Structures are given as structure tokens and as C-alpha cells.
Structure 1
Amino acid sequence: MFETLNGVELAALALSLAVVGCCSGFLAGLLGVGGGIVIVPALFYVFDFLDIDQAIRAHLAVGTSLATIVPTSIISLRAHRQRDAVDGALLRSWGPMVTLGVVIGVVVAAFVDGKALTGIFGLVALAVALYMLFSLEGTSLAGSLPRQPWRSLLALVIGGISTLMGIGGGTLSVPILSLFSFPLRRAVGTAAAIGLIIAVPGTLGFVLNGWGAEGLPPFSLGYVSLVGFAAIVPTSVLFAPYGARAAHGMQVGWLRKCFALFLGLTGMKMVMTLFG
């Protein structure tokens, strides 16, 4: 584990995770995709490098990612609220069902193995990448969100799947809101709040799920690596406001396409790990 690494390796590891934090924070603020979509695969391969047991590798990556999303979402949410880009009515409508989805996701995660979590992440990442690459600007299914119970079902799915993937919810909520003609910048800002609703109970759930698990690396709180958290959060928090600022002052279409390519390749590689 960490004690087997020399000083140069530890420094390289810390620097790598700090760069991951920069990217995740900026993307969380800019695209509303949630920093976890970058952090989970990064941590997955870092834990692979550290030879952490494959049985807990994905759970540890997901739990640690959810923990890092808490402070990043707070900073991103504050920046978007200053620009009046957070829809309070939608949050009041979706909040309880998103939370219920998180609870369901935590319970499911306690009973599935690491391969299942890896597969869920890879397949959903591929689906989101395809949507970001090929969806036409302004494409929508309807002029507004569906009525109950379908509106609540959307929130439930966002909370549950996001928890299993270790992401903040924006990766799913922004495309879904856009399909129902929700203004993009307001969807991005609201996604920051949804990320916080997901990350807090999700983190607690993965702490409890992993309490006393065998093979955890040093300085772990259940399935949350405190070392990973400490390395990623400072730069993630630092760069989230810059991403939010950029979202309100630049055309992000080309960046969405580049990120979609990265996301598609990452999802594909994680699915391929299931086949050796």
C-alpha cells in the first residue's frame, strides 16, 4: 500500500491526484457534469497501481469520489447562486426523491461486487458520452418536465444511478433537464445543488458499507480514502468557481465534445476491464 512507495512515487501520486482535482472542479462548474465522472476512473486506476484488492477497488473509488463532491458542490453552488442560476422550485420538487434514490443506491452498493459497480459506471459513461457527442443543439422531447409520477421517477433514477457511479448528479440531470427544454445554464447551476443532495448521504452510506472491510488502505474511513480526499479536494474547490464563471462567459460546445470523447474512451476502458 502507501507504505511500500518511495518518496518520489508518493510525490508523483499526490501531484497526479491534485491535477485530477483541478480538472474535476473546473468541469463541475463549467459543464455541470459532476467532478466524480473524472475522479472515479482516476481513483480506480490509482488504486489498481497501489494493488488494492479488486473486490473493494470500485467501492473505494466511488465512496471517495462522493466525499470529494461535497465541498466542490458547495463552492460551485455558491458561484451559481450569485448568478441566479439555481432553480429553487425544482430542488424542492426533486430533493426528497433524489435523496430516496441515494438511499436505494447505497443499499444496492452494499450487495453488489466491484465488477458490477465498474460495469455500471462504464456503461452509463458511454451512454452520456454518446448523448454529448451526437445530440443536436436545442434538441428536446417536450417543452417542460413531465407531470407526476414521472417527474419523481426521474429524480429517483438520478439519485440512485449517480450514487452507484460516485458522481454528483449533473452528469445525468443536465442532459435530462435539457431534453425537457430547461435552460442549459440554469440546469448546470441547479445540478450543483443536486450534487450536494447526493454526495452527503451517499458518502455516509459508503462509510458505513465499508466499515471494517478487509483490504482497505491506510487512512480509510469505510470506503472513503482520506488520502485521496485530502489530495483532490483543495484543487477541486479552487477550480470550481473558475468553471462556473466560464460557463456564463464562453461557448462550451467544443469543450463538451472533447470531454465526451474522453468520457467515452474512459467508459469503454472500464467496461473492458471486466473482460480482463
Structure 2
Amino acid sequence: MSATATRARGATARTLPAKRVRWADELFAWALRLCVGVAMLFLAALLVYVVVRGWPRLDGDLVTAYTSVIRPETAGARAAIIGTVWVIGFVALFCLPTGVLAAIYLEEYADRERWWNRLLELNIANLAAVPSIVFGILGLGFVARMLGLGFTVITASIVLSLLVLPIVIIAAREAIRAVPGSIREASYGLGATKWQTIWRQVLPAAVPGIATGSILALSRAAGEAAPLLLLGGLSFISFDPDGLFSRYTVLPIQIFGWISQSREEFQTLASAGIVVMLIVILAMNSTAIFIRNRYQNRR
């Protein structure tokens, strides 16, 4: 009886911690659900507030008319929308090829025992955490003044490219690193060179991750306002930017300018502008999800 009782007590002692662990897991899972629910509730409330506030100005004039400081009832964000397209288009042109090529070098060619490669990786990680206003100060002192490019589209594009370049590099490196090594070995076994393996096997397999990270980085650039406040984005623009060396404004700066006005009509106009910017960013994020799912289905 004594041995039987001892075994029963041992089994009970082993069962209780397992029950406590399961109870703790359930509690943690419900806490996570609660946090997500609260975040989604606040987000939905913010979206509803912005849409309701800006609904009277969600019309054709918002995207076809130029801004005005006298008649907010008919003012629009045409120059800001076109300026955003110009700036983000050149950000993509400058940043994406550079970021992907840098990721290929660091993952496929760089010798991690070399001090300069370790220094490069350290700098990329540090630049990803630098506040955006610091890039604005750098752009003002070096790009706009020392290089003489002024407060133009190309200045804004270069500075925003530097801002999101570490994000593109890190996302592309993770996507390339996630490609199984067996794909590379099979390609080498068939006689392919290193570059042929990267170009025809590794990069197609890494496209979903690269595209997702790149478009999310561009979405961040599209929503940045702090660096452009120092780079001429706050200018009153009543014309379409037409080139790299044209003056410009972008949607975040235009919304900031409207909110700064005291008249109620400008507050309504700013809310409508926020809705337009959210639609643009959501469209970019949806494109990233579509590209990722399409390439994942092909694999």
C-alpha cells in the first residue's frame, strides 16, 4: 500500500504542473486576443471618425483641384497626389535595385570574416533605427545645399531612399536566406554558375519576401512627413510637378498644412486627405500581399 500511495502522489505531482502550464497558455492566448481586439477597435473608431469627418469633401474636386488658402470648399490635393507619385516613383527607382543588390552581396558573396563586411552589416542595422528627422537634416545640409539640388523632387527622393534603404536590405536578406540550400546545391550539381543559380533559382524563390518588404518600405516612405518639412515639401504648390528638379509637395505635408489652418472647412478637407492617403497606402500593401501570394502559389 505504501508503494502504491507513493506512485499515486508522484503521478499527481507530475499532472499538476502540466495543468498549470495549459492554464497559463490559455490565459496568455486570451490576453493576446484582448490586445488585438482593443487595437482593432481603436483603429476602426479612428477610420470611422476620419471617414465621417471628411465625407463632405470626398468628391472629384479633392483629386482634380489644386489647394487654396482662400476657398477650402473647392480646394483639392491634385499637386500633392502627383508629387507623391513622382517622389515615391523615384524612391523605388533609386532604392529597390540598390537594396536588393546589396542583400545579394551580403548573403551570397560577402566573407563574414572580413572586417569591412561586418562593419557594413553593423551600419545597416544601425541606420534602420535612426529617426527620420535625422535624414531630413542630412538631406538639407548635404543633398540640398552642398550638392546644390535644392528643394526639388530629386532631393526628396534621395533622402527618402536613404531612409528606407536599410529596411529593403534587411527584408531582401531575410527572403534570400529563407531559400533552402538544397536549391543552390541542385543548381550547382547541374553545372550552373553562382550567378546563374542566384538569378534563376534563388531570386525567383525569394521574390515574395523581397516584394513584400520593398512595398512596405515604400509605404513608409509615402507616409513620411518629418524629413520633407526640411526639404521644401511645405511649399504652397498650385501646379503639377513635372520633373526631377521641380518644386513639389506630398500628401502628408499637404494634410499637415490643412490641419494647421483654423477654419473648420480645412479640418474637413484634412480628414478627406487622410482618407485618400490611407487608400493609397492600403493599395500598396494589398499589392504586396497579392505578389507574395501569387509567387507562393507558383512554388
Choose between structure 1 and 2 for higher RCO, CA contacts under 8 A separated by at least 6 residues: 1
**Which has the larger Rg?**
2
Q: TM-score, normalised by structure 1?
A: 0.34
Q: TM-score, normalised by structure 2?
A: 0.32
